[in-house]
């Protein structure tokens, strides 16, 4: 709210400031994964990170602000994409990756918490959307390659295909509570491939 001075951490971003930021973001991730979004207080994070809680309130202000920063960090480190030579193989690799993330003991609850945080705060929502945008851009090329190979029709929207694979897994995680297993992941891939070949994703 104070527009006369710059945000803390921008003028002297090196050394101690960077160490504090790293420790806090890691501690926040742990705390989010363990306790969930609502049971979180910054004092707990400060203790874990061995940092004064004043620092947290001054630099990030609120829990959503901190979460938004975390998401920016997560979007920065891209994850490797496999190239198997077929759309089915590539999408299966992607689906397994998403499945692994969402069922991971630490990352699953973390993603739940991140999404919960995004529903409560506009800034966090923007950061979350940017994160998924990056993920989609990262994996879109495997769909484009399938178009080049002639597996699926020209003009197919790559983002739509990737979304179609992700969506059922997130739906199970967040809404329906149905089991998140390899069968679900593989079925999501089959659905997306069948639809793509039928030309449903052609713009």
Task: Verify binding: residue 181, its own copies, rule CB under 8 A.
Answer: no
**How many angstroms separate the CA atoms of 192 and 198, rounded?**
10
Q: Where do the H-state alpha helices sit in 104-156? A: 107-120, 122-149
Task: Verify binding: residue 57, its own copies, rule CB under 8 A.
Answer: no
How far is residue 144 from each of residues 1, 86, 91, 99, measured CA to CA in Å? 44, 11, 12, 23
In the complex, what is the shortest distance from the CB of residue 111 to DNA, in angstroms, rounded to a whole number? 22
Task: Verify binding: residue 190, its own copies, rule CB under 8 A.
Answer: yes
Contacts with DNA, 61-80, as mask; x by CB under 7 A: xxx-----------------
In the complex, what is the shortest distance from the CB of residue 26 to its own copies, in angstroms, rounded to a whole number? 21
Backbone angles phi, psi at 51, to 5 degrees: -140, 150
DSSP annotation of 8: T
| Residues comprising the chain, all counted | 203
- Are 82 and 91 in contact by the 8 Å Cβ rule? The answer is no
Task: Verify binding: residue 58, DNA, rule CB under 7 A.
Answer: yes
Backbone angles phi, psi at 202, to 5 degrees: -75, 130
Task: Verify binding: residue 36, DNA, rule CB under 7 A.
Answer: no
Q: Which of 1, 2, 4, 15 binds DNA (CB under 7 A)?
A: 15
Q: Residues interacting with its own copies, by CB under 8 A?
A: 36-39, 112-113, 115-116, 118-121, 125-126, 128-129, 132-133, 136, 160, 163-164, 166-168, 170-172, 174-178, 187, 190-192, 194-195, 198, 200-201
């Amino acid at each position: 709210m104070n527009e006369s001075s710059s945000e803390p951490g921008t003028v002297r971003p090196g050394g101690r400031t960077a160490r504090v930021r790293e420790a806090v973001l890691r501690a926040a991730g742990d705390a989010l994964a363990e306790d969930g979004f609502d049971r979180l207080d910054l004092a707990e994070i400060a203790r874990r990170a061995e940092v004064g809680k004043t620092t947290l309130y001054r630099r990030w202000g609120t829990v959503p602000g901190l979460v938004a920063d975390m998401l920016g960090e997560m979007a920065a480190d891209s994850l490797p994409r496999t190239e198997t030579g077929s759309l089915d193989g590539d999408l299966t690799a992607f689906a397994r990756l998403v499945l692994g993330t969402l069922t991971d003991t630490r990352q699953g609850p973390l993603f739940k918490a991140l999404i919960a945080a995004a529903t409560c705060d506009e800034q966090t929502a923007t950061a979350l959307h940017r994160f998924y945008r990056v993920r989609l851009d990262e994996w879109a090329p495997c769909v484009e390659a399938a178009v080049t190979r002639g597996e699926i029709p020209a003009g197919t929207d790559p983002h739509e295909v990737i979304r179609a694979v992700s969506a059922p897994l997130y739906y199970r995680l967040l809404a329906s509570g149905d089991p998140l297993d390899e069968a679900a992941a593989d079925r999501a891939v089959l659905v997306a491939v069948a639809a793509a070949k039928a030309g449903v994703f052609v713009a």
